[in-house]
């Protein structure tokens, strides 16, 4: 019986090691405000990612969470580096972007998330 328990523990450890997922790390987070062609204010948020890069959706929340966007992500190449993000968080007509600390959640295909904050002045 003791031998069976030892073998089961070894199998569980092997399974845990084999199923370990790549870590996700943002090497850079670039958040910028801009004005669209129809004079609406918007937010652009892009990530340089290390490790697993299969992002699916980006959630952006304004300070106080008055505004929330859930956006599909795009991949862009800039100066030889690949960035994941979106420039589609557009404010309603006539509404200014609130300054302060914004938050984000980058959701990956396997369900993992990367969360953080960025500042807009």
Which parts of the chain sit beneath pLDDT 50?
Answer: 18
Which of 45, 38, 53 lies closest to 71, judged by CA? Answer: 45
Q: Is residue 58 part of a domain?
A: yes
Residue 51 lies in a domain: yes
Give the residues across from 104 on adjacent strands.
Answer: 60, 116
- In degrees rounded to 5, what are phi and psi of residue 65? 55, 35
The predicted model scores a pTM of 0.77
The pLDDT value given to residue 52: 80
Query: In DSSP terms, which residues pair with 78 in a beta bridge?
Result: 81
How many domains is the chain partitioned into structurally?
Answer: 1
Q: What is the extent of the structural domain holding 34? A: 24-120
What local confidence, expressed as pLDDT, does residue 25 receive? 82
């Amino acid at each position: 019986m003791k031998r069976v328990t030892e073998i089961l523990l070894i199998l569980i450890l092997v399974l845990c090691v084999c199923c370990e997922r790549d870590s996700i790390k943002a090497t850079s987070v670039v958040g910028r405000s801009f004005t669209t062609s129809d004079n609406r204010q918007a937010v652009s948020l892009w990530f340089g990612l290390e490790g697993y890069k299969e992002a699916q959706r980006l959630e952006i929340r304004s300070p106080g969470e008055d505004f929330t966007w859930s956006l599909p992500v795009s991949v862009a190449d800039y100066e030889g580096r690949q960035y994941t993000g979106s420039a589609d968080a557009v404010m309603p007509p006539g509404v200014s972007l609130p300054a302060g600390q914004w938050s984000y959640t980058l959701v990956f295909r396997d369900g993992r998330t990367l969360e953080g904050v960025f500042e807009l002045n």
